[in-house]
Amino acid sequence: MSFHGLGKIILLGEHAVVYGYPALAAALDRGVRVAAVPTPAGGALRVDIPSWNLRITADDDHPLAVALCAIADKLDIGRPPLTLVGEAQIPAGAGLGASAAFAVAISRALIDFRDRKIAAAGGSAMPATLGEVTSAANASEALIHGKASGVDVALASNGGIGVFRKASGLRPIKAELRVLIGPSGASRSTSTMVERVTRACSNNADDPRLAELGSLTDHGTNALLGGDHVGLGTSMDRAHALLAELGVSTPLLDGLCEAARRAGAYGAKLTGAGGGGAIIAIAPREKESDVLAAWRAAKVDGFVAKVGG
Ligand code: MEV
């Protein structure tokens, strides 16, 4: 049996969401999948994800080993002799929610292991709830990203598309969208970018740039629900400019967004923490290949993702 967590894109509202504003986000149809294989008696709790070149044991000095321990501790299961063998279909550190997808997949696998052990001992385990999965995965995200809002874990575990708020969680919406995704190849750290925004706005949730990012989520969501892709694209362009003002864009990301707009996109922006990672664009169907070609000319291999539904 295997367990998954999905990658995600944030269409609008990243960073502001940490301060309580809404974010419009969607799960990808790909992420991280793991299966639990018993390690020989006395063996360590390990994770092996060859596509990320990742081979760790729980006591390694590695951020994902720290994540693994945070999840095991939250579930109160010690360090069982298990190897979680996985496959990742999204790049790590690319702004597509890889760490949350990892945390959700691992949480599901460890909850299943715990419940089987309870059943084998004659007990009856309650079926795992989504709440238990998200609270275990959020324990890991809090350690890796510091001030994580929970948006990545909500999408990694729920799937779909919706508006997320820290106070109320994910509100699914009924919408479908084709999104062009361009992983820039530049790695970055989410926690460093979150700290950068904290400094830029003096940790003040009333900063007008954060407030405007929040209103853009509302405008963009209404535009999406009304089928107004021009309006959604305009909100995305403005959100990118505000994120750049907050210090989380780079010349590479600005250039890729500009190239997408010149190739006919309705709008383009960085997605996720910024500082590297990925950009997204939406475009009329007949212009999608031009946008992808413009990115390819800049050595970025983009792809089209269908989100929502
Ligand atoms: C990261 O995908 C999104 C941020 O807003 C951080 C968070 O919400 O946890 C930058």
Domain ranges of the chain: 2-161, 174-308
Q: What is the pLDDT of residues 62-86, one digit of tens each?
A: 999 999 999 999 999 999 999 999 9
Catalytic, 237? Answer no
CB 279 within 8 A of CB 270: yes
Q: Which of 104, 138, 149 has the most ligand 1 atoms within 8 A of CB, as the residue to mutate?
A: 149
Question: Of 29, 152, 228, 290, which residue is the catalytic one?
Answer: 152
Does the domain formed by 2-161 have CATH 3.30.1330.10?
no
Residue with tokens 């062009």: 180
Could you tell me the distance, in angstroms and rounded to a whole number, from the CA of residue 68 to the centre of ligand 1? 20
145 lines ligand 1 (CB under 6 A): yes
What pLDDT does 182 receive? 97
Question: Dihedral of CA 22/302/31/80: which sign?
Answer: negative
Q: Looking at residue 127, what DSSP letter applies?
A: P
Q: What is the pLDDT of residues 88-115, one digit of tens each?
A: 999 988 899 999 999 999 999 999 999 9
What pLDDT does 229 receive? 98
Could you tell me the distance, in angstroms and rounded to a whole number, from the CA of residue 124 to the centre of ligand 1? 37
pTM, full prediction: 0.95
**Relative orientation angle of helices 130-145 and 151-158, to the nearest 10 degrees:** 140
Q: Which of 15, 102, 138 has the most ligand 1 atoms within 8 A of CB, as the residue to mutate?
A: 15
Could you tell me the distance, in angstroms and rounded to a whole number, from the CA of residue 273 to the centre of ligand 1? 6
Amino acid at 88: A
Task: Say if 2-161 and 174-308 have the same CATH topology.
Answer: no
Listed residue (156, 129, 144, 18) closest to 70, CA to CA: 144
What pLDDT does 283 receive? 98
Taking 50 as the pLDDT cut, the residues of the chain under it are none
What pLDDT does 4 receive? 96
- The CA distance from 140 to 70, in Å, is 5
CATH fit for domain 174-308, picks 2.60.120.260, 3.40.50.300, 3.30.70.20, 3.30.70.890: 3.30.70.890
